[in-house]
Each structure stands twice: as C-alpha cells, then as structure tokens.
Amino acid sequence: MKQTMITIVLVLLLTGCSFVSIQPNKDKTDSKIEKISTVTKKISEHDHDAYYNSPQVTDDSTLQKTGQSVTDEKGEATLKAIKPINSVYHLGDIEFTIKEMKLLHYRPDYSLIDYYHPLTEAEEFDFIKISADIKNKSKETRNFAPVALFETNTGIKMDWKQDMYLEHLNGEIEGSQVKRGSLGFIVDTAESKKIEWIKILTSDVFNEKQERLEEAQKIQLHF
C-alpha cells in the first residue's frame, strides 16, 4: 500500500508530460556511471548563470571552503560542507551529471520569507544543494526528473515538491536539449552535522507517448 501511494504521488511530477515510476532495477542501480575530472576550475560565466544565479537564493559561487559566508540582497549563506561529485549517470538517452554537492546554512532576506514559508517556518535553516546537468542525447522529446525522492542517513525523507530552487529541471526535455541548474532540500539544522550521505531516486525516462524507456536509478552521494 505504501509503495502504491508513493507511485501515485510521483505520477503528478510530470503531469501533462508523462508518468513517473520509482521502481529501479537493482541490477542497474550503479552499473551506468562514469567519473569525469574532479579538478577544480575557475567558474565560467555560463556555469555561474546555470548554478548560482537564482532569484530566491544567495549566490554561493565564492563559497569553496567550510566556514566561508557571503551576503547579498537575497540573504546570507554560510558553507558547512562541500563535495565535488562530477559523476555521470546514464539512463538510456538521458545523461544526468551531478557536478557538486554543498551543505549550506541560509538566512534569507525578510522579503523572501513568504517564498520559503511552505517549506519551513524557520527564519534560517540548513539545506543541501545539488548542481546538475541533464542532457537528452536523442532527437526526440523525453520526460525525466533528476530527483523524485530525496533522503539522508539522518532519516530525512522528501520528494520533488520540496525542492527550493524550482528551476524546471523536471519534466519534458526536448531532443538534444541540455538543462543546467540546481536543486535544494532543507534539512534539520540540529542534525545537519550528522549528515554523511544523501540518497536520491530519479524518475523513470519516458517518451512523448508516456511509454517507459528506462527505469529509475537510485544514487547515493557521500560528503
């Protein structure tokens, strides 16, 4: 019954585009992964716009060492942990790249309190940020969600609806299109120091006829 309810909720993820299933093939979970260079590079203007230029979240591009803080008109962010990932996950025609993972403490400007209120009642909070690329290598439209479910080793469990960035990485992706952006999930500040890993479950990959082409993947990332 629990599995049925989860599946029904995730069907809403790609409404009007496709249906979502969260039944990954365990044999395929880690079999389609490749590593790319982890050498730190200067952030280009293109990358900056993709991963750090959010209307609701402070630009954290300068935060590369634990304890560093930055303040702008959107609030104040402090880096608590950072992990370059640079892993590519292959789901048929979809190439899903996770670039980086950060644990940040954030105090949004008062003008943004209403934006965050549906996610938390706290005036400041910790969150995990995932920077990612999604590439459709097919010439045909596909439907995919990079994070359908999110959980941590501390017991936090959330779904796609609790992503604080809302950068439209979910859903339809046209042939040869590349989507770039960030996803963020608020975590318990008191427990954040105990977070050692996160686990995400992608959606399945569908075509325009809502036919499932590839099963979801379960991905675990360690700080």
Residue 1: which residues within 8 A CB-CB, separation 6 or more?
A: none
pLDDT at position 169: 95
Strand order in the sheet with 205-207: 171-173, 142-144, 205-207, 212-214
Q: Answer with the residue of higher pLDDT: 47 or 135.
A: 135
Query: Mean pLDDT across the stretch 129-142?
Result: 97
pLDDT at position 1: 47
The chain-wide mean pLDDT, for the chain, equals: 85
Query: What are the tens digits of pLDDT across the range 96-110?
Result: 999 999 999 999 999
pLDDT at position 53: 84
Q: What's the predicted TM-score (pTM) here?
A: 0.80
Query: What are the tens digits of pLDDT across the range 109-125?
Result: 999 999 999 999 999 99
At residue 37, does pLDDT exceed 80? no
CB 169 within 8 A of CB 178: no
Query: Mean pLDDT across the stretch 42-62?
Result: 81
Distance CA 69, CA 118 (A): 25
Query: Mean pLDDT across the stretch 177-188?
Result: 96
Distance CA 223, CA 220 (A): 10
CB 60 within 8 A of CB 77: yes
Residue 13: which residues within 8 A CB-CB, separation 6 or more?
A: 20, 145, 148, 160, 170, 171, 203
At residue 41, does pLDDT exceed 70? no
pLDDT at position 84: 97
